[in-house]
Amino acid sequence: MRQKRERSDVVVAGAGVAGLSAALVAAEDGASVLVLAKASHRSSNSYAAQGGIAAAVGPGDDPELHAADTLAAGRGLCRSSAVGLLTEEAPARIADLRRLGVHFDEGLGREGGHSRARVVHAGGADTGRHVADVLTARAREHPRIRLVEGERITTLATLRGAPVVLATGGYAALWARTTNPRGAVGDGLLLAHAAGAALADLEFVQFHPTALRDANGHDGFLLSEALRGAGATLLDQSGERFVDELAPRDVVARAIAARAGASLDLRPVERDRYPTLMATLERAGYDPADEPVPVFPASHYAIGGIATDLDGRTTVPGLYAAGECACSGIQGANRLASNSLLECLVFGRRAGLAALGGPALEADAAPIAAAADPGEELWSHAGLIRSAGGLRRLLDSPHPLVRLIAASGLAREESRGVHFREDFPVESAELAGHLVVHPGREPVLERWS
């Protein structure tokens, strides 16, 4: 692989917002950084992000209020120390982005679960593209960063000799119906696990309530939560509203899944604020000014990931993780909208700083194996509504990550946040912790503070 040819002080796997945040801070501190990404930055989840980034920057807002909303959404499972850092550092990270050249729109958005309008956005619903473009440009022009796109890492063995930051994104694209670009299949989790790292919270995957439903079923195009914040309403087949549109995503998603069909009425929304989104709908054959558009839930965000401390350290010396591939406990059992780009900014930076002073990765690791697309089996047996019978079937899946997701889903004999078990429909106080999977072992419950 090309990355072996030059020595770097830090190696970053992944060029989304988390990876580029880690790379830029390390390079600013004087390190030479190699960033490897399997695809163009335009195919990352970061680039696809729409709604915005949460930060307590508005009048009357405060990081403590942001933290309280995050903890409430997380249903008793957020690591409070991580949430404290996330929300306290948020305004400074937004200021960093402005300094780097991101132009945010006027005003703040209000999204589900937030008690204040606190979501900064760029280009209406094009926030991810604006931020990813600017960070990529800054990385490309940086004299100490070498950004290589089109290199898929299949083993960490080739990266040994420098601290390695994994920022390879989540695994929500493993499900058949997803809002994610196809590359979000959990490579980083498998790479880390093969090197001995613990994974955590794998059973928690958030389903977005409102992906566009096309004539054949679903195309996964996300109709951002910001639209509901801006007045869009959800209607059932009789044209009646049936749910608080700003309730947490799991509540809205299950309310939609329980109905034969639902549609999103965009007529109250000021169309000029979302030009790209409206144009996409029109290209798909809908006229949002004239009638509601059909929507359905789709797998959207992987809460679980590589277990880390507050500086991105995994359980393997020299190996760090940040962004959606990591699990530091911020999102708890349900992610609060617009907290994930923020997680990438805050914890990408922290991981980059920690890697600078950290040991080199020396652990050995087998290559990750290819497996058939598990999309339909996950959708059927580990979707919005789960049960022991379905999850048990996944234990025989040829896909190693699917087996670990199933084992975690089975062990969590309760319903909490985005994990809903019809055979255990209520929360269990005994399970108020994180299910951590060490290589070759069954999930164990840990409490993180």
Ligand X SMILES: Cc1cc2nc3c(=O)[nH]c(=O)nc-3n(C[C@H](O)[C@H](O)[C@H](O)COP(=O)(O)OP(=O)(O)OC[C@H]3O[C@@H](n4cnc5c(N)ncnc54)[C@H](O)[C@@H]3O)c2cc1C
Closest C-alpha to 163, from 286, 42, 33: 33
Does position 180 bind ligand X by CB under 6 A?
yes
Taking CB under 6 A as the criterion, the residue among 27, 38, 223, 336 binding ligand X is 38
- Select 49 or 200, whichever has its Cβ closest to ligand X: 49
Interaction residues for ligand X, span 272-301 (CB under 6 A): 301
Q: Residue 42: helix, strand or coil by DSSP?
A: helix
Does position 330 bind ligand X by CB under 6 A?
no
Q: Rounded to whole angstroms, how far apart are CA atoms 357 and 194?
A: 24
Closest C-alpha to 310, from 146, 88, 115, 30: 88
Q: Running DSSP on this structure, what letter comes out for residue 419?
A: B
- Select 292 or 312, whichever has its Cβ closest to ligand X: 312
Closest C-alpha to 33, from 111, 139, 118, 123: 139
Q: Residue 302: helix, strand or coil by DSSP?
A: strand
Contact (CB, 8 A) for 204 and 191? no
Write down the least CB distance from residue 201 to ligand X, Å.
14
Q: Which two tokens stand for residue 153?
A: 């890492």
Does position 37 bind ligand X by CB under 6 A?
yes
Taking CB under 6 A as the criterion, the residue among 168, 206, 328, 415 binding ligand X is 168
Piece of the chain touching ligand X by CB under 6 A; list 46-54, 61-69, 155-163, 420-428: 46-54
Does position 45 bind ligand X by CB under 6 A?
yes
Q: Running DSSP on this structure, what letter comes out for residue 123?
A: T
Write down the least CB distance from residue 338 to ligand X, Å.
4
Piece of the chain touching ligand X by CB under 6 A; list 4-12, 14-22, 133-141, 421-429: 14-22
- Select 38 or 118, whichever has its Cβ closest to ligand X: 38
- Select 190 or 382, whichever has its Cβ closest to ligand X: 190
Q: Which two tokens stand for residue 257?
A: 């899944």
* Cα angle 220, 226, 231; round to 5: 110
Write down the least CB distance from residue 238 to ligand X, Å.
29
Provide the phi-psi class of 76: left if phi over 0, else alpha when psi is between -120 and 50, else beta: left
Taking CB under 6 A as the criterion, the residue among 16, 124, 292, 318 binding ligand X is 16
- Select 93 or 412, whichever has its Cβ closest to ligand X: 93
Taking CB under 6 A as the criterion, the residue among 3, 8, 70, 127 binding ligand X is 127
Does position 448 bind ligand X by CB under 6 A?
no
Interaction residues for ligand X, span 356-375 (CB under 6 A): none
Write down the least CB distance from residue 171 to ligand X, Å.
10
Q: Rounded to whole angstroms, how far apart are CA atoms 57 and 92?
A: 10
Residues 212-246 as b/e (b if ≥16 CB within 10 A, e otherwise) read bbbeeebebbbbbbbbbbbebbbbbeeeeebbebe
Does position 70 bind ligand X by CB under 6 A?
no
Write down the least CB distance from residue 85 to ligand X, Å.
16
Write down the least CB distance from residue 320 to ligand X, Å.
13
- Select 168 or 308, whichever has its Cβ closest to ligand X: 168
Instruction: Given the residues 75, 79, 146, 249, select the one marked as catalytic.
Output: 249
Write down the least CB distance from residue 45 to ligand X, Å.
3
Does position 184 bind ligand X by CB under 6 A?
yes
Q: Which two tokens stand for residue 123?
A: 């280009």
CA dihedral of residues 148, 133, 22, 319 (deg, nearest 10):
-50
Does position 14 bind ligand X by CB under 6 A?
yes
Q: Rounded to whole angstroms, how far apart are CA atoms 47 and 444?
A: 35
Q: Rounded to whole angstroms, how far apart are CA atoms 48 and 174?
A: 17
- Select 11 or 431, whichever has its Cβ closest to ligand X: 11
Q: Residue 127: helix, strand or coil by DSSP?
A: helix
Taking CB under 6 A as the criterion, the residue among 9, 69, 89, 187 binding ligand X is 187
Does position 49 bind ligand X by CB under 6 A?
yes
Q: Is 118 a catalytic residue?
A: no
Question: What separation in angstroms does the CA of 174 have from each of 18, 184, 373?
Answer: 20, 7, 7
Binding-site size, ligand X (CB under 6 A): 43
Paired strand residues for 307: 327
Q: Interface residues with ligand X (CB under 6 A)?
A: 13-19, 36-39, 44-46, 48-53, 127-128, 152-153, 167-169, 179-180, 183-184, 187-188, 222, 301, 323-325, 338-341, 344
